[in-house]
Amino acid sequence: MQINVKELTLKGKNVQLHESMDMSGLLSGRQDLEAFGVLEADLAAYADGNIAVVDGMLKLPVTMVCSRCLGSVQETLSIPFREKFTLGSISAEAGEEQDDLHQVQEDLVELAPYVEEAVWMALPYIPLCKEDCRGLCPECGTNLNERDCGCSTEKIDPRLAGLADLFKETRKDP
């Protein structure tokens, strides 16, 4: 997937980019990914002065491993993409935000490395099957989302169980 920065900026062209991209090269080594599908890029490229702007959305179906219960988490990541390219010098184009502005030497810019970087950054660091996943029991390994195993690290007098619950309630993370 390429854009021609010169053509975009000189002619003020507006280009739609729809492309499927194989992410195997980037993702096949990731231990936290059980599977991933084909990335769908849905981008627009247009000129803003002598800057070519590419923005839009990347969609990537992934199956991750929940970091608490080790269950599978299937979702389609929606990853916003926005990068800017210029053949001019960047200092002359001083704007408020420069992070996503790249100075390029060639008219043709291959977008794949930028797409790959965006995908890499967007992968959840600690994937969870749900926000309040209860994880696995440290004693017996039961998936606590499915059932309570009855293990308890503390022995609680049944007469005080009510109090213990109350204690847990107040200690709950916000």
Q: How far is the CB of 69 from Zn ion (least distance, A)?
A: 3
Looking at the Cβ atoms of 110 and 148, the one nearer to Zn ion is 148
Looking at the Cβ atoms of 34 and 42, the one nearer to Zn ion is 34
DSSP assignment, residue 10?
H
* DSSP string for residues in 51-73: EEEEEEEEEEEEEEE-TTT--EE
Q: How far is the CB of 65 from Zn ion (least distance, A)?
A: 9
Q: What 3 state SS string does 112-154 have?
A: HHHHHHHHHHHCCCCCCCCCCCCCECCCCCCECCCCCCCCCCC
Residues 110-149 that bind Zn ion (CB under 5 A): 129, 133, 137, 139-140, 142, 149
Residues 34-93 that bind Zn ion (CB under 5 A): 66, 68-69, 71
Token pair belonging to 10: 């000189």
Give the whole-angstrom CA distance, residue 100 versus residue 171: 43
The residues near 10 (Cβ < 8 Å, ≥ 6 apart) are none
Binds Zn ion (CB under 5 A): choice among 35, 38, 44, 151: 151
Q: How far is the CB of 36 from Zn ion (least distance, A)?
A: 19
Looking at the Cβ atoms of 45 and 66, the one nearer to Zn ion is 66
Residue numbers at the binding site for Zn ion (CB under 5 A): 66, 68-69, 71, 129, 133, 137, 139-140, 142, 149, 151
